[in-house]
Amino acid sequence: MKQQTTDELMKLLTSTKNTAELKQYTDTLPEMAAVSTFPEYLNEQMIAHNITAANLIAAAQIQRNYGYQILDGRRSPSRDKVISLCLALKLDLLETQRALTLTKNGQLYSKSKRDSILIFAIEKKLSVIDANALLEELGEPSLS
**1 pLDDT higher than 50:** no
Q: Taking Cα atoms as reference points, which of 65, 59, 110, 45 lies closest to residue 87? A: 59
Give me the chain's average pLDDT, please: 92
Percent helix, strand and coil across the chain, each to the nearest 5: 65, 0, 35
CA distances from 81 to 13, 29, 106, 140 (A): 34, 29, 13, 16
pLDDT tens by residue, 43-90: 999 999 999 999 999 999 999 999 999 999 999 999 999 999 999 999
Ordered structural domains, the chain, with CATH: 38-137 (1.10.260)
**102 pLDDT higher than 90:** yes
CA distances from 103 to 21, 40, 81, 106, 126 (A): 32, 11, 11, 9, 22
Task: Rank 2-6, 19-23, 26-30 by mean pLDDT and report only the highest.
Answer: 19-23
- Give the pLDDT band (50/70/90) at residue 9: confident
Which run of H or of E encompasses 131? helix 128-137
Burial level of 20, CB count in 10 A (0-12/13-18/19+)? exposed
pLDDT at 11: 85
Share of the chain above pLDDT 70, in %: 92
Q: Taking Cα atoms as reference points, which of 117, 116, 122 lies closest to residue 134? A: 117
